[in-house]
Copies of this chain bind each other. A is one copy, B any other.
Amino acid sequence: MKLQERNDDVNNIETKTAYSKLIQTIKWTGEELFLLDQTKLPMEVVIEKQESVNQVWDSIKMLKVRGAPAIGIAGGYGLVVAMRDRAGLDYDDFILEMDRQAAYLDSSRPTAVNLSWALKRIVSKVKSLGRRPVAELFEEMIKEAVAIHNEDRLLCRGIGESGKSLINDGIGILTHCNAGSLATSELGTATAPMYLAFEDGVKFRVYADETRPLLQGARLTSWELQQAGIDVTLICDNMAAFMMSKGFIDLVIVGADRVAANGDVANKIGTMGVALLAKHFNIPFYVACPGSTIDLLTARGENIEIEERDAEEVTFFGERRTGPEGIKVRNPAFDVTPNELITGLITEKGIIRPPFDINLKQRFGAAAKAERSADTL
């Protein structure tokens, strides 16, 4: 099975921003998938060639690639990696194997909807083509994976355009975790309005929650904003209330791993706490996400499965122990912010405001119906 060069598709989209010069989280050369190992940032910039689907699964599981949109993009290419050595299969075995590999990749992170969304999209596309030669189907898989990647760039830019008017001269913005360039393909989601406002010359400050246990805010968000030249200050998660009480924070923008049909938002653990504090201090709380993060098939946040991760993430930092041996630990990776704490959802289709159940269905319902087979909205 010969692969064509597809560099142009992926890497040469025109952009005016300086941030496109940031190292790409995900790079598809047309033949090979490269992932930036974010667990080593900001100390080392290591880019790993993905040799097998098992390696891609590990990269997602171990958070080398993380952030809902990036996981979706990586998952799509992961399916390509999984199938590239299956040229000898007949049609039925190819389809069977594609289903099997998609299910395997989907098992690497249970909470982010983008992963299963991307995998289902590629699988559905291939199946919709009917009985064609396997080599041709494989080419279509690649096209679909690349399309998901390119669409994400445009989505992030759309989110930035929708949200940038929220950012005015002199304000302070709090963000949590990394819903930035590193979590997506280019401008990020929560960071997209910041990058575009910065490009327009708006002067603002960003405060990045460090985001325990994996320190995505400290290692990734503060790093990428610093690289871009944006005024960013790192704080510990438990300092957000202090900073709000002293008037440093005028706006909160976070990302989302999944948005339920009623507007409840599953995002990195600690998001709900930030939202509750923002409400207390009357600070607008926005969630930035593309339409693919909005899951109209999930009625409410309480229906979203919350991944509980290894205790060692809390009790070790690198090789160094931070908690006593044998200590019990809780380590939920996400929490669900109730819709009543959310001022608006910044999407590529504009800012969605309450009532979310009605407005989300109106703006994303039709597309959701077209893209998904189920119709239980």
Contact = CB atoms under 8 A, between A and B. Distances in A.
Interface of A: 42-43, 207, 209-213, 215, 218-219, 222-223, 226, 231-243, 245, 269-270, 272-273, 276-277, 280, 314-315, 317-318, 320-332, 335-336
Contact of A314 (B235, B241, B272, B280): B235
A323 B241 contact: no
16 contacts: A42-B321, A43-B321, A207-B330, A212-B237, A218-B315, A222-B324, A223-B324, A234-B315, A234-B328, A234-B329, A236-B269, A236-B331, A242-B269, A242-B332, A245-B335, A317-B317
Nearest to A213: B236
Given A323-B210, A327-B222, A237 B236 contact: yes
A236 B314 contact: yes
Contact of A328 (B233, B242, B324, B331): B233
B218 A322 contact: yes
A302 to B, nearest CB: 10
A217 to B, nearest CB: 9
Contacts of A335: 239, 241-242, 245
Nearest to A238: B270
A273 B211 CA distance: 15
Nearest to A341: B280
A211 B212 CA distance: 10
Nearest to A211: B238
Contacts of A245: 272, 335-336
A16 to B, nearest CB: 25
